[in-house]
Structure 1
Amino acid sequence: MNQQKIALLTDSCADIPQALLHRYDIHVVPLKLIFSDGEYADGVDITPTEVYRRLPTEIPKTTLPDGASVERAFARIREAGYTKVLAINFSSGLSGTHNLVRLIGEQTPGLEVAAFDTLSGSLGTGMTVLQAARWIEEGWTWEELLRALPPLMQDTTVFFCVDTLEYLQKGGRIGRITAVAGTLLQIKPIISFTEEGELVNTAKMRGRKAAMQKMVQLAAACVPRGIRFNLAVAHGDSPAELKEIRSLAQQSLPDYQNCMEGEIDCTLGAYVGPHLLGIGVQMMENALKAAGKEK
């Protein structure tokens, strides 16, 4: 138990490794996937590998966590002796999870809940939750955390590429013309997030090797020399290529404070299909200044 009695709550799209969830006692509410044979809780009743295996024959619908699971999460947090909660969730531009958690948090007696919309995806959300966990472990106050998190999220940038735009197109998240052109020419789009938390194309490269190199270049360009930053890489059904992009990232950005490695969850796997690769960077200077912690 940390002295401030501050808990962390996020959703299954944060893609934080299990060992870190346990270390920091991070609470997770799962999103839902609906296949023809029933409903599954992301990461609880079904794994990403199982989702990828089923995608060629059926693309599931995805839904928010049910209200009861969010209520139970807050109840467990309260029963564990926490009095405050930082709820840090997946982009509201792609999911209503943030608003659901915020509304239930406001109605939960005995807890002070501050809900944050990362306006980012897997890596952006996961990096933010883990940095908040480190600060809590260091003894930061509730007020310091509330001041630091908005600039931390604003200074977090994520890039990812997918093997095909087929699944994003079928989900209505990317235009049909872009999807067809990318498939025919083996063009690999590099995608990021707008300020509103929606997906946007930032570059197009021919082939995955070139896309990996471009993503690393884009990420490195976000990090000013001498600044403190976190690094993250992730994959969906491509563990060998994860090692490759991690090596490229660490060569280009060797001075990172922390490096998170994630595997894309079931929900995002259903959105984008197999073979996603991603990289994220998170600058900490403005957050530290906001909290009065700059050195």
Structure 2
Amino acid sequence: MPNIKIFVDSTSDLPTSWIEQFNIGIVPLYVVFGEQSLKDGLEITPVDLYQKVSENGTLPKTAAPSPADFIAAFTPYIEQGDQILFISLSSELSATYQNAIIAADDFPADQITVFDSLNLSSSIALLVMKAVHAAESGSSLEEIVTLLEVVRPEIEAEFVVDTLEYLYKGGRCSGMQNLIGSLLKIRPIIKVSEGKMTPSVRVRGKREKAVDMLLQNALNKKDLMDQDLIIVVHSLAEDDALRVQASLQQHTEAKVVLATAGCVVSCHCGPQTIGIMYSKKPQ
């Protein structure tokens, strides 16, 4: 059976230790400041990003990897006889999935499978780890894809945005919503549904209140959770992330891992964002 090489894009926010331990390939998206395109996680970090935004007063754009980027990443593994599984950022949020499909068509049939996560950030990492462990157990590429199709609709992803400014600058909420949200200190809880980001709850008041509601939303479903893995992801919100991690460890039997949001996710959500990602048990 051919070796299965698993690839993801940089929005998966995988911990570096997992990338190294399981030999996972990363295809970075781009952060674009004017004429300058920087590879997410390789040429720019979230700290760099926030510094540039503070200095310039405007957000960069983000861009998907090109088909040529995918072809360059995939070719060495195809040439050595591997099969490739690429797990992509949601096709509802980026051209990443479509560009990977275009690249896959450049190779012989059945050598590359492109799987749409219909999700973002560490929710993709949940699918990646399912695929990694299945591959280690000897599952075929077809069996892994079938497993991911079962798990994908069970993924739960919610996160608290501390400020509407980044969503506004990124074109994801209106100027009036941004003004009202700032005046009323509204911090939305965003849910990923059918591959898209949608407001779930709008919390008025202190940040701690919103984070506590995020945590309680997860704990309300603890009996439905797949106890293998929960991921707490954050962008410059480590103290909150550690507190949430400790509470989830106390109230569940799952392994609870911290992850750091990369530049593309940070571009749209801003600093002090924190999210909880887990899978429910398949129905």
1:32 corresponds in structure 2 to 30
2:116 corresponds in structure 1 to 117
The count of corresponding residues between Structure 1 and Structure 2 is 280
2:150 corresponds in structure 1 to 151
- Among residues 244, 260, 266, which one is paired with 2:257 in the alignment? 260
Matched, 1:9 2:7: yes
1:51 corresponds in structure 2 to 49
Instruction: For 2:34 and 2:226, locate their aligned partners in 1 and report how far apart those are by CA, in whole Å.
Output: 49
For residue 141 of structure 1, report the CA deviation from its aligned partner: 2.4
For residue 223 of structure 1, report the CA deviation from its aligned partner: 4.1
Instruction: Note closer, same or farther for the CA distance 1:95–1:78 as it changes in structure 2 (3 Å cut).
Output: same
Compare 274-283 and 29-38 and name the one that shifted more: 29-38
**C-alpha deviations, 1:35-66, integer Å up to 9, x for none?**
13621111111111100111122311111112
Matched, 1:77 2:74: no
For residue 228 of structure 1, report the CA deviation from its aligned partner: 4.0
Instruction: For 2:22 and 2:181, locate their aligned partners in 1 and report how far apart those are by CA, in whole Å.
Output: 41
1:208 corresponds in structure 2 to 207
Compare 236-245 and 10-19 and name the one that shifted more: 236-245
Give, as a single letter, the amino acid of the residue that structure 2 aligns with 1:121.
L
1:60 corresponds in structure 2 to 60
For residue 115 of structure 1, report the CA deviation from its aligned partner: 1.4
Unmatched runs of 5 consecutive residues or more in structure 2: none
Contact 2:59 2:170 in 1 (8 A): no
Secondary structure of the corresponding residue to residue 224 of structure 1:
helix
For residue 242 of structure 1, report the CA deviation from its aligned partner: 1.6
Q: Identity over aligned residues, as a percent? A: 28
TM-score (norm 2): 0.92
CA RMSD of aligned residues (A): 1.9
Instruction: For 1:48 and 1:76, locate their aligned partners in 2 and report how far apart those are by CA, in whole Å.
Output: 30
Unmatched runs of 5 consecutive residues or more in structure 1: 287-295
> How does 1:91-110 map onto structure 2 within 5 Å?
91-109=90-108
1:23 corresponds in structure 2 to 21
Instruction: For 1:110 and 1:235, locate their aligned partners in 2 and report how far apart those are by CA, in whole Å.
Output: 39
2:191 corresponds in structure 1 to 192
For residue 201 of structure 1, report the CA deviation from its aligned partner: 0.8
Instruction: For 2:186 and 2:225, locate their aligned partners in 1 and report how far apart those are by CA, in whole Å.
Output: 34
TM-score (norm 1): 0.88
Instruction: For 2:269 and 2:225, locate their aligned partners in 1 and report how far apart those are by CA, in whole Å.
Output: 35
Compare 181-190 and 108-117 and name the one that shifted more: 108-117
> How does 1:225-236 map onto structure 2 within 5 Å?
225=224, 228-236=227-235
Secondary structure of the corresponding residue to residue 203 of structure 1:
strand
